[in-house]
Amino acid sequence: MRALTKSLGDIWHLAVPYFTTRDVGEARFWPIRFRAQERWIGLSLLIAVVGIELGQVAINVRLSYFGRDWFNAIQEKNAAQFWDQLLFVFSPLAAIGIASAILQLVLRAYLTIRWRRWMTEKIMSDWLDGSSHYRMQLTGSSTDNPDQRISEDINDFTTTTFTLGLGILSKVTSLVSFSVILWTLSAGFTFPGTDTRVPGFLFWIALIYAALATGLTHFIGRPLINLYFQQQRYEADFRFSLARLREYGEQVALLGGEQTEHVSLSRRFGALIGNFLAIVDCRKKVVAFTASYAQANVVLPFIFVAPYYFAGKVMLGVMTQTAGAFSNVQEALSFFIDSYTMIAQYKAVVDRLTGFAASVDRARALTRTAPHIEVKTDGGDDLAIRDLEVDLPKGGKVVRIKDVRLRQKESVLVNGPSGAGKSTLFRAISGIWPFGRGEIDVPRGARVMLLPQRPYVPIGTLRAALTYPASADAFPDALVRSTLDAVQLSSFAERLDEEAHWGQTLSLGEQQRVALGRALLAKPDWLFLDEATSALDEPLEEAMYRLLPEKLPGVTIVSIGHRHTLQAFHKRRIELKPAADGVSEPEDVEVAGLAAE
């Protein structure tokens, strides 16, 4: 019961936000377009879909009485009654039923896609907000494959929620309606072989029979929930491994690692196959039971009613109506059995989305819960670091700074041994590293930009890669082309609007120059370079370091680098040195023989 309550609570928390949002959306009710709060659009569509579903149940109930009267007319050879029921009862109801089914299909599809779009935008926004996607990786979150959560699980959730929700509504309504019919029709039935009258005899038979079958189905199919959860994970892991191999194909080829990759991929695919076969084995048992149950349902109501028909206590029409009512009650009570596989898959989807949302919330909370590194703006011109302790995600200090001030327009080189925490310190200054405590004061209104050693190059045009994160049309074409020339990539000028996977097309050195071009376009006040020129030869690196202050007058450059040649382009050098306890602390080092700025 506790597990059921939790699952229903998870579904509620995933579903309700859409129907309570105050976001404004646009809808079209041909030929009229209008704007309204998304919740009112969604609720209006939901009410219409539910209303049609209830109407279809009412039609089925009315058709039950049609069947009774029609078969009675056949038994009595009453042609007038036969044609009257066919033409004036069945035909109009059938036409209404068909039209309403088509209308419900359209409205349901429209509501599902609107719900999916809103939910996808909401979850993507939460995932990307405040660098949560990055922090989820740092915390070692158990949430794997966020791409699958967003692209597949949300679609499965919205679609299956409607399928199961409407199914449950329909079956509950049918259960109530046909239970009344079944109870009334079998009110005078006696227990077989006796004269003992049992009110609602067939209703109790249907209830007991379905309850026993439901319990057995759950007992047999319970392992499916976890198996479906694991299957989605294995599928996503295998797909991600293939994509990663494609991305690093050159490195694998240079190292001759194809056989190792083949073994690794085969192992992941083997886990996928093994879990799939376990699903097949479990589903085989479930299908064997549910198929047997379904076949028995075809004849069971007639078996119970036949003795009363043969004894002349009921007519053919009453027999068919009773059998039909029994079947409808039985079908409603058997919804869990018939939908068990779908429910198992749905439970896995809900668990994955709930886990993903919880991981996002934990990542976002890292910047709000104490202790954390607080990056704030003040009215000064310098960047001040006070009482800062930078931690690793799983504990342990890596950098400790009592008081350091980076002065505006004073270029600074930060170096130190590998693992001293240089890159981690830069991440803390940029605001994406929450682990630790202390304050970092950034000048008010200052634009801060950090370029890592390996830049992100999005799939698309080279122009979009150069202007990222701004849009491809954010800068004049002449400026974009002159920037390409400035970073010595003029050979790509004719390919600016070519769609490609530039992260694989360009060398690392070319990618680093694309990133430097972004800085020229973005014009930051503070530019942090985390070995952002490490793939360039020394003459080209020198050209880039001379280019930056020339094109960005007033910029403050803070660099991480190991080459001694970098000292010539910085006025100040800070070295991170491990203290007695192993935590790195900054030390200003005298710089001599600087080149011209």
Are 424 and 351 in the same domain? no
Q: What are phi and psi of 590, to 5 degrees?
A: -65, 130
State mean pLDDT over 206-212: 77
Q: Which of 244-258, 298-312, 328-342, 391-405 has the highest mean pLDDT?
A: 391-405
Residue 595 pLDDT grade (very low, low, confident, very high; cuts 50, 70, 90): very low
Around Cβ 116, how many Cβ atoms within 10 Å?
17
Helix (H) or strand (E) holding 272: helix 258-310
Tokens of 163: 């399928």
How far apart (Å, rounded) are the C-alpha atoms in residues 432 and 450? 11
Q: What is the CATH number of the domain that holds 577?
A: 3.40.50.300
Residue-wise pLDDT tens digits, 317-353: 777 877 777 777 767 767 776 777 788 788 888 888 8
- From CA 533, how far away is CA 535, in angstroms rounded? 6
CATH number for the domain that contains residue 86: 1.20.1560.10
Same domain, 100 and 175: yes
What range defines the domain where residue 250 resides? 2-365
Residues 336 and 478 placed together within one structural domain of the fold: no
User: What is the share, in percent, of the chain residues with pLDDT greater than 70?
Assistant: 95
Inform me whether the pLDDT recorded for 140 exceeds 70.
no
Sign of the CA dihedral with 424 first, then 429, 432, and 433 last? positive
- Span 485-527, pLDDT tens digits: 999 999 999 999 998 888 888 999 999 999 999 999 999 999 9
pLDDT category, 594, cuts 50, 70, 90?
very low
3-state secondary structure 530-571: ECCCCCCCHHHHHHHHHHHHHHCCCCEEEEECCCHHHHHHCC
Same domain, 342 and 413: no
Average pLDDT, rounded, for the chain: 85
Distances (CA, A) of 105 to 100, 101, 111, 276, 588: 8, 6, 10, 32, 71
pLDDT confidence of residue 596: 39
Contact 560, 425 (CB under 8 A): no
Task: Name the residue among 573, 567, 563 with its Cα closest to residue 593.
Answer: 567
Whether residue 455 sits in one domain with residue 342: no
Q: pLDDT band for position 237 (50/70/90)?
A: confident
User: What pTM did the predictor assign?
Assistant: 0.71
pLDDT tens readout for residues 31-48: 788 889 999 999 999 999
Cα dihedral sign, 55-56-60-62 = positive
Q: Average pLDDT, stretch 278-295?
A: 83
Quick one: 406 and 312 in the same domain? no
* Domain endpoint, select from 314, 345, 365: 365
Dihedral through CA 568, CA 569, CA 570, CA 575, nearest 10?
-60
| Paired tokens of 558 | 């803070």
Q: Where a domain ends, among 314, 330, 365?
A: 365
Task: Give me the phi and psi of 343, to 5 degrees please.
Answer: -65, -40
Q: Which contiguous run of DSSP H or E holds residue 557?
A: strand 556-560
Q: How many residues does the chain have?
A: 597
Domain-located, residue 147: yes
**Number of folded domains that form the chain:** 2
* Residues paired with residue 577 on neighbouring β-strands, in sequence order: 585
DSSP string, 392-450: PTTS-EEEEEEEEEE-TT--EEEE-STTSSHHHHHHHHHT---SEEEEEEEETT--EEE
Does residue 595 lie in a domain region?
Answer: no
The C-alpha atoms of residue 515 and residue 504 are separated, in whole angstroms, by 15
What phi and psi, each to the nearest 5 degrees, are found at residue 316? -60, -45
Residue 532 lies in a domain: yes
User: Does residue 319 form part of some domain?
Assistant: yes
Written as one string, the DSSP assignment of 459-497 is SEEHHHHHHTTS-TTSS-HHHHHHHHHHTT-GGGGGGTT
What's the confidence (pLDDT) of residue 565?
Answer: 86
Strand, coil or helix: 451: strand
Task: Report the pLDDT averaged over residues 587-594.
Answer: 66
Separation in Å, CA 410 to CA 345, 527, 541, 556: 59, 11, 19, 6
Residue 173: what are its φ and ψ, rounded to 5°?
A: -65, -45
Integer Cα distance of 243 and 246 in angstroms: 5
pLDDT at 210: 74
Q: Are residues 334 and 381 in the same domain?
A: no
- Boundary-marking domain end, from 303, 332, 365: 365
Within a domain: 177: yes
What does the pLDDT look like over 387-446, one tens digit per residue?
Answer: 999 998 877 899 999 999 999 988 999 998 988 899 999 999 988 888 899 999 999 888
Q: Which of 171, 116, 118 is nearest to 349 (CA)?
A: 116
pLDDT of residue 3: 66
Specify if 556 maps to a domain.
yes
Is 328 found in the same domain as 183? yes
- The residue-averaged pLDDT of 53-58 equals 89
Please, what is the Cα angle at 575 between 573 and 577, to 5 degrees?
170
Which pLDDT band holds residue 572 (cuts at 50, 70, 90)?
very high
* Residue range 152-159: mean pLDDT, rounded: 90
* Distance of alpha carbon 356 from alpha carbon 376, whole angstroms: 29
How many angstroms separate the CA atoms of 432 and 131, rounded?
6
Block residue for tokens 């509501």: 111
The residue ranking higher by pLDDT, 181 or 561, is: 561
User: Are 434 and 565 contained in the same domain?
Assistant: yes
Q: Are residues 152 and 295 located together in one domain of the fold?
A: yes
Residue 339 sits in the same domain as residue 426: no
423 domain-assigned: yes
Domain assignment present for residue 69? The answer is yes
- Separation between Cα atoms, residue 367 and residue 369, nearest integer Å: 6
Residue 409 shares a structural domain with residue 550: yes
pLDDT for the residue numbered 222 = 80
User: What mean pLDDT do residues 370-383 have?
Assistant: 82
Tokens (6 digits) for 482:
């002159």
pLDDT at position 593 is: 45
